Amino acid sequence: MATLNKNAAQVRAPIVSNKRVGQYHQLIINIGELAGVCKPGNFVAINVGGENSRMVLRRAFAISRVSTNSISGGTMELIVAPHGQGSRWLCSQGEGAMLDIVVPLGSAFGIPTEAVQVLLVGGGYGSAPLFGLAEVLNAKGCRVDMLLGASTASKIYAPMEGKRSVNSLRIYTEDGSMGQSGRVTEPIRALIEDLNIAVIYSCGPMAMLSAIDEITRGTHVVHQCAVEESMACGIGICMTCVLPVADEAGNVSMVRSCIDGPVMDGSFVQWDKVGKTL
């Protein structure tokens, strides 16, 4: 464990476009050749607030997809929810604004060596990196089915073009305002059987990841999840983003989700010990 992402670099990069998509913002940022070393699951850490800001910490965002052949050089896409001070600042930045970014960081989703059936499960804007992942899996010949869930319709992120790489897409909202009414985790058990799922890839709130782990525990299904824990640095020096994770021998330790994650094997995460003293 604890393998640094050797490709990480600090760059100043311009915003190519910033569009509002429902409750979220889609930011396209020109990161040049670094786009070529970004993998689905990786994240970035961005300096927010500009000079003399009261915000001293970087903000981490999952890379939703990269493009290496655009006219402006390599770009990456981020889907940002303007929740807090930092993300609101980022969403207020216009085209051409320069950002101080460390990219790419963290672990990536493992891609199966054979064409297998996979299920992608996204909660809220956690769905964003799953569309880039779907493209990669699709190219591998995997059959990709996707479930997206959120509390309400406006929090579902499902771009039209993203749907092309998936075999099927089902949407669940807790208030029934879009797709089926209920939680995104409800149909998983049946789908594993019906579709002969080998791997579940998930990204979203911790409660959703933990619920998926409960379903896959004791089965042959591999659960690769991208965890979400608040980070101060994103590069492994602050020790704040830790999660209790077991190793092969069953020893549990607090590992950094910025280095050993964000993508982890869900079966090793000790979900019941998150937020507790070991």
User: Which residues would be at the binding site for another protein (CB under 8 A)?
Assistant: 4, 6, 8, 10, 47, 54-58, 100, 102, 229-233, 235-244, 253-254, 259, 274-278
CB of 214 to another protein, least distance (A): 20
Contacts of 3 (CB under 8 A, 6+ apart): 107, 259
- Shorter beta-carbon distance to another protein: residue 152 or 253: 253
Specify burial of residue 143 (Cβ count, 10 A radius: 0-12, 13-18, 19+). middle
- Shorter beta-carbon distance to another protein: residue 69 or 277: 277
CB of 124 to another protein, least distance (A): 17
CB of 55 to another protein, least distance (A): 7
Helices 206-216 and 188-195, packing angle to 10 deg: 50
Residue 116: how many CB atoms within 10 A of its CB?
16
- Shorter beta-carbon distance to another protein: residue 92 or 230: 230
CB of 261 to another protein, least distance (A): 13
User: Which of the 8 DSSP states describes residue 104?
Assistant: E
The angle subtended at Cα 183 by Cα 272 and Cα 147, nearest 5°, is 100
- Shorter beta-carbon distance to another protein: residue 192 or 233: 233
- Shorter beta-carbon distance to another protein: residue 12 or 20: 12
Asked whether the bond before 112 is cis by omega within 30 degrees of 0, the reply is no
CB of 47 to another protein, least distance (A): 6
Token readout for 132 is 């880039």
